[in-house]
Chains A and B, each alone.
Chain A
């Protein structure tokens, strides 16, 4: 197999491994749209990172966190429903990213690659970023696991039990931002959340514990990466969308499998 195929596979599997547990949390916390909103702001992070002369991944994490704070502030005012606020932030952030990119004439980027991913052009440096950032995020999830679950179940109970709810919420947003930053090049900012949500949703029916759902979601994600990449190579299809289509097919197939409860 060619090197670029191996790198694509390694990158995709690394991201699926990370997206499994974090995607499960996104599903449990009903934050799919929130994840989408953060992902849409990633483009703005890329241009800001370029303007400030820092790594685009740093720019993406920064913008995601800023957006998360903006969301919290708007939610606290309770003037608008959360999904309306998310809709405003999501599309403004995406458009702002596109507009700012157009302004920067010196910035030559492949816009389509950022929007839909370019998994076959993964460089060794990208791979290092994915596994480095991914390891940090995964370690964070493992260390905070019980407390993140508690906050997911009931924030008030967690607070009365003395858990730092705000800090945990912030940590969760940071983890999601990290996933977005490292997986942007693979599936693109428009499709990132699908890699978090679809495998987790597929895993739900077969899981009896939160842990088994997270692990199974990672396995399903890796299977989707493998199938999507093979299809992409065989029939010359776009990589990122092929992976997502494979994940969706897996979801359909999994919902047809009878489960004894």
Chain B
């Protein structure tokens, strides 16, 4: 595999686990809490961030030698805002219902700390190819957590996955509901996402003790 050198592979794989933007750097929590009640919204959000961060990192990387240092934040904001508007318009055109569920949170991708963080920390100092891999990697790391959280919240909270009633019908009492099972309303409310993310952090750190911060 000459396509990706080992260093390049690490750019993608590191943010997936040991340097995950959500569980290790604890960035982008706000949207992780807000939109993970449904798996579909989580996936779309993850894809949006992958697009924005992947393309944005490349654009910033190309422009890195032209941007005056003093106004670099503004330039970054313009780039990310442009990309987010594209995402928003695409969603409105092709997935209107979903864009209503995601509502303001698509717009708020602009303020997602992960994106500005990667622009600042990586794209401004590295070439376009590396920046692209880094952007994809970090967005994937963000997306993986979003999808895990969304999976558990939708399954336990609504008994569905992508809207399909995988556990049976709660109204007509089929499937698991026939045994007296009920949906857990707690998983629908945003604090549940905080607890699920917390459990992921807990499991990850108990598996890899090197990640535990000393204090």
Chain A bound to chain B: no
Binding site for B on A (CB under 8 A): none
Binding site for A on B (CB under 8 A): none
